[in-house]
Amino acid sequence: MSLAGFSGAVIDCDVHANVPSLETLLPYMAPVWTQWTRERAWKGPLGVATVYPPNAPTTARAEWRPDDGRVPASELALLREHVLDAGNVERAIVNCYYGVDSVRHPDLGNALASAINDWLIAEWLDKDERLAASLVVPARDPNAAIREIERVGDHPGFVQVLLPVRSDRLYGSRIWHPMYAAMAARGLVAGIHWGGTPEGAPSPSGWPSWYAEEYAAEWQVYMAQLTSLIAEGTFQAVPELRVSFLESGFTWVPIWGWRMNKEWKGLRREVPWIDRPPLDIVRDHMRFSIAPTHGGSADDLATVLRWLGTDELLLYATDYPHLHDDDLSALLASLDEDGRERLMAGNARAWYRL
């Protein structure tokens, strides 16, 4: 794994723990679920394969696909071999997207979320002190999410709650505010991450035909969530809330922020709880991982970073085992020495209080 010549401390803010199979989780679930799933020959949620087609190049880099057929990123041993021991990785934040949100049965969804969290504790957090993790919640139901946050959120290894970026209610909506309060009370960051299975099309305009088409356009899902969080006064309601955008890119953030600032000046009376320019709120309450970056040249990136107004917003991540066509060296070249240190570890250390 190339770190483009960077030799300082590294905190990887987005590495995946992929559930090898449903059988991995069943021991962590009540016995009824073993019978329930066997009776139906149910192998697990479908949501994952929709957003990460197993054989797609972007789902795993060739060098991160085990030769022996194990599911990529499904074991701590693989994470150590490919990421933790391969570079000077001080800490890594483990995210498990298993498509729990695509499960409609509320009890099965709750049981799966709890099982994933217990598995993350037993097989990951308790076995390598370099690891932190996001806890998984039944993301369709704010009350169920709060219960799970209350159940495991105090474990010292959990620093974040994973929320799939596609949802049925925009994440700024007030129905979510009590969930954010539960996160903030425990110092947990809301991690908005690739994935999700909303009721309708994952866009304003139908279902994309090609995965590449959908993958490229996915920005629009993140943008809508960011606008919602700002517009609904989420950070006025929960002032301690922090939100990370993961697998979102960031080159869109300045122009999105300028647009919000422009509109706010004239439309403020409709959303009077927004008490300062929205882009300032973004800087205070949001961070963005750099996998993918999808940037231009180093000069282009330097311009975008200058428009962002601070080098404190970006979080280094490999997004292991995923592939994005990125050039880390261009991003590093667009930063000065302090900026590189912040990108590769300092921002994450401060943001996640590691």
Interface residues for other proteins in 216-275 (CB under 8 A)? 216-217, 219-221, 223-225, 227-228, 231-234, 236-237, 249, 251-252, 254-273
> Do residues 153 and 135 lie in contact, with contact meaning Cβ atoms separated by under 8 Å?
yes
Binding mask 164-203 for other proteins (x = CB under 8 A): -xxxxxxxxxx--x------------------x-x-xxxx
206 near other proteins (CB under 8 A): yes
CB of 296 to other proteins, least distance (A): 5
CB of 134 to other proteins, least distance (A): 19
d(CA 196, CA 247): 13
User: Which of 279, 286, 290, 313 is the binder for other proteins (CB under 8 A)?
Assistant: 279
Residue 67 phi, psi dihedral angles, 5° rounding? -65, -25
CB of 207 to other proteins, least distance (A): 7
> Do residues 58 and 321 lie in contact, with contact meaning Cβ atoms separated by under 8 Å?
no
Which tokens belong to 11?
């905190």
Q: Residues 68, 73, 76, 82: is their CA dihedral positive or negative?
A: positive
The closest alpha carbon to 342, from 308, 307, 315, belongs to: 315
In this complex, which beta carbon is closest to other proteins, that of residue 50 or of residue 173? 173
Neighbouring-strand partners of residue 289? 315
d(CA 326, CA 294): 6
| Site for other proteins, residues 292 to 331, rule: CB under 8 A | 292, 294-296, 300, 303-304, 307, 309, 323-326
Tokens 């929205």 belong to 278
In this complex, which beta carbon is closest to other proteins, that of residue 4 or of residue 122? 4
Which tokens belong to 143?
């009350």
80 near other proteins (CB under 8 A): no
In this complex, which beta carbon is closest to other proteins, that of residue 202 or of residue 339? 202
CB of 104 to other proteins, least distance (A): 17
